[in-house]
């Protein structure tokens, strides 16, 4: 059986990372855990934690990234009932509205769902009440979608091999 737990950490340094499992697994550690091959998960302090707690550490490979998409699916599963004004892409939620008043209502609805799921948002990643946002190399807003010219210029100015 799989259980997904996603928490925000102050840092990606191994000493901070090693503290997270002790908070998540307060009722006991699993027999196996699957992580990516990030250096923080492979650090000696993490190996000691897994060994001390009797956890078999499984790691994904570049050719079989089993963990990819779990957080994205978790976020997407938060959105039933708000799809008419909110969309998830990877680990981001975009909320779109016709005017500021409806945007506040939409924002409250999405944040309530996040709170009920006992999740949090990262304040520095949030853009609130923006009339235009950069999204996948495009500027989106005001009913239009346009390519970001600096991206086009960078490709155009790329030197040939």
pLDDT tens track for 129-148: 888 888 778 888 888 888 88
Residue among 147, 94, 19, 148 nearest 8 (CA):
19
* Selection from 55, 57, 58 nearest residue 25 by Cα: 55
Please check whether residues 95 and 42 belong to one and the same domain: no
Q: What is the CA radius of gyration of the chain?
A: 20
Q: Tell which wins on pLDDT, 75 or 95.
A: 95
Average pLDDT over residues 109-132: 84
Domain ranges, residue 107:
68-129
Q: Is the pLDDT of residue 103 over 80?
A: yes
Question: In this structure, are 37 and 77 located in the same domain?
Answer: no
* DSSP letter for each residue of 34-83: EE---HHHHSHHHHHHHHHTT-EEEE-BTTB-TTTTHHHHHHHHH-TT-T
Same domain, 78 and 125: yes
More confident residue, 68 or 92: 92
pLDDT confidence of residue 106: 93
pLDDT score recorded for residue 101: 92
Question: What pLDDT does 104 receive?
Answer: 93
At 133, is the secondary structure helix, strand, or coil?
A: strand
Mean pLDDT of 82-91: 82
The answer to which of 5-19, 38-52, 121-135 has the lowest mean pLDDT is: 5-19
Is the model's pLDDT at 107 over the cut of 90? yes
Residues 54 and 78 in one domain: no
Q: In this structure, are 75 and 124 located in the same domain?
A: yes
Mean pLDDT of the chain: 80
Same domain, 108 and 125: yes
Task: Note the pTM of the prediction, 2 decimals.
Answer: 0.53
If you average pLDDT over residues 39-46, what whole number do you get? 81
Q: DSSP per residue over 5-26, as a string? A: -----S--SHHHHTHHHHHHTT
Q: Are residues 26 and 47 in the same domain?
A: yes
């Amino acid at each position: 059986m799989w259980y997904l737990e996603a928490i925000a950490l102050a840092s990606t340094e191994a000493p901070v990372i090693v503290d997270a499992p002790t908070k998540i697994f307060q009722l006991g550690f699993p027999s196996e855990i699957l992580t990516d091959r990030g250096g923080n998960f492979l650090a000696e302090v993490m190996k000691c934690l897994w060994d001390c707690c009797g956890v078999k550490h499984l790691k994904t490979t570049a050719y079989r990234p089993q963990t990819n998409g779990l957080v994205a699916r978790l976020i997407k599963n938060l959105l039933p009932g708000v799809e008419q004004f909110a969309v998830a892409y990877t680990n981001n939620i975009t909320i779109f509205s016709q005017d500021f008043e409806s945007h506040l209502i939409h924002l409250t609805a999405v944040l309530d769902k996040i709170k009920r799921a006992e999740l949090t948002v990262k304040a520095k990643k949030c853009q609130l009440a923006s009339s235009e946002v950069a999204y996948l190399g495009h500027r989106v807003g005001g009913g239009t979608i346009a390519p970001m010219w600096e991206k086009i210029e960078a490709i155009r100015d790329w030197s040939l091999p």
